[in-house]
Amino acid sequence: MFRIAKPFYFRTISSLHCGSGNDLGMVDLPIQREKHTSFPKVESSSLKGAIREAFENKLEQQKVEFLEIISKNDSSKIGFENINDKKRLKLSFDYSIQLLFGYDEDNLDELIKKEFEEDSEFSGALAFSDARILFFPVRSAKGIFAWITCPYVLNRYVEDLKLCYKDFRLNIPSVDIGQCITYANNKISINNTSVVLEEYRFNEQQNLNIDPILSKFREMNELKERVVVLNDDDFRDFVNQFTEIITRTKIDNLTGTVAQGALFNEEYLPPETIMYFLVFSTPIFQKEEKKKGIFNQNGKKEEELVMEFFVKNLPEVMQLGGNATIGKGIIKINEINQNNDKGGK
C-alpha cells in the first residue's frame, strides 16, 4: 500500500500530443481524454514512461543527484564494490531506477542484470496518477489569453490534494452558464464587466478568491491575472472544441507538392496548459535487505527515501508525448508546494 503521496504539476512550453491512437472523426490522431468528462488527460502510463526516460537521460548526462548517504560506501551493499567511484555511482543510480520504476532489462548493464538474476519480478516503488487538467489556455480578446477552469475541476483538485494534505479545504463558488468569475485587477477583463474568450462573451464577477490553490504555484501572479472560472458545461465545450489541431503534410521530393495520401490531422494540448498529478511511494519491493540498495538505511523510512530520491532527481524540464523530434511536448514540472505560500517567481 502506498504510504506517501505528493502532488506535482506541469505547464506545457510547446504543444503536447499524448495520443490515444487513430480515430474515425474529424481528427485522425486525437489526444487522450477522460471517458466520463471528455476532459483532456495524460494517462499515467504515458507519464510514468516519460518520467522514467527523463531519469535515464539524467544518467546519460551524468547529472544525477544522490541521497546524502551514497558517499559512505553504502552502494557496496549491492555488489558493485570493486568498481571505481564514477562507474559505481552510475550503476547505483541505474539500479535505483529499476527499484523505483520496475525492472526493464533493455540496455541494462550486465552487472545490474546479475543482481536481479534470481528475481526480476517485482513492482516499482513509485506510482503515478493520471495527469488531470487544471487550467486550460483560451485566446482572449483582451490580454492575449485566459486560463480557464471550472468548479468541477477545482473541487476535484481539492479532493485529490486531500490525499497529500489532510487539512486542505476550500469552498469553490458555483458559476452559471454564460457567467464567469475572475480576480480583480486581471488582464483580460473588458470594462470590469465581461470577458471575451474566442468569440464568446461571459459576464464577469470579479470576486474570485482561490488563493489557497494558486499560492502553491510558481506562476501564482500570472495565474491571478488570467484565471477565469467558467460553468462546468462551458469549460467542457472549450476543452473539447478549442484544442490545437495541426494538419500535417508530407512534401513529395520529386514534385515539390503535397504528397498524395500523406495528409493527416493531429490534436494537441496548446502551450500554457497546466495539469497536475500525484506521485505515490511505497517501501522497496525486495525480499532481502541488501537488495534495497541506497534505500536501506537505518532511521529513515524507505518510502521517504524513495520520494526524496524522486524529488531530487526529477528534471525541471522534460519531454512528454509524441513528436519529440519536432520539439513537441516540452513541459516544465514543479512540485505543488504546500509551504510555498509566498508564490511568485
Partner 1 sequence: MSDSLVPKETLEKINRNQVSNFALKFHKFARFDGDKFLFFKTDKGKIIFNDVENFNFPSINFNNLCKEISEAAKKLFPTINYVKKLIIDWRLTLGLGSESVYETSINLHPVYGFPYIPGQSIKGVVRSWVILEYFNKDEEKAYQSETFCHLFGCPKESILNKEYQGALVFFDAYPIETPKLKVDVMNPHYQPYYSDKTNTKPPADYYNPNPIFFVTVENTSFQFIIGIKETENNLGKIDNIQGHYFDLGKKFLLEALTQKGVGAKTAVGYGYFK
Residues that bind partner 1 in the complex, under the rule CB under 8 A: 13-15, 57, 60-61, 63, 137, 139-145, 187, 190-191, 193-194, 196, 198-201, 244, 246-248, 250-251, 253-254, 256, 268, 270-272, 315-319, 323-328, 330, 332
Q: 2 vs 200, which CB is nearer to partner 1?
A: 200
Q: For partner 1, which is the closer residue by CB, 201 or 301?
A: 201
Region label for 191, one of left (φ > 0), alpha (ψ between -120 and 50) or beta (otherwise):
left
In the complex, minimum distance from the CB of residue 71 to partner 1, in angstroms, rounded to a whole number? 23
| Shortest spacing between CB 16 and partner 1, in angstroms | 11
Exposure of 29 by Cβ count < 10 A (0-12 exposed, 13-18 middle, 19+ buried)? Answer: buried
In the complex, minimum distance from the CB of residue 137 to partner 1, in angstroms, rounded to a whole number = 5
Min CB(151)–partner 1 separation in Å: 23
- Residue 192: all three cell numbers together: 470590469
Please give the Cα distance from 202 to 241 (Å, whole number).
Answer: 17
CA–CA separation, 310 vs 239, rounded Å?
31
Biggest CA-to-CA distance, the chain: 72
| Among the listed residues 246, 243, 241, 248, the one whose alpha carbon sits nearest the alpha carbon of residue 272 | 243
Q: Which residue, 72 or 345, is less far from partner 1 as judged by CB?
A: 345
Instruction: Report DSSP letters for 11-76, one per residue.
Output: EESS-B--B----SSS-SBPBPB-TTT--BEE-HHHHHHHHHHHHHHHHHTT-----GGGGGTGGG
The distance of closest approach from Cβ of residue 41 to partner 1 in the complex, given in angstroms and rounded to an integer, is 19
Map residue 226 onto helix, strand or coil: helix
Q: Which is nearer to partner 1, 293 or 321 (CB)?
A: 321
- Shortest distance in whole angstroms from residue 274 CB to partner 1: 12
Q: Of 162 and 248, which has the nearer Cβ to partner 1?
A: 248
Cβ-based nearer residue to partner 1, 15 or 282: 15
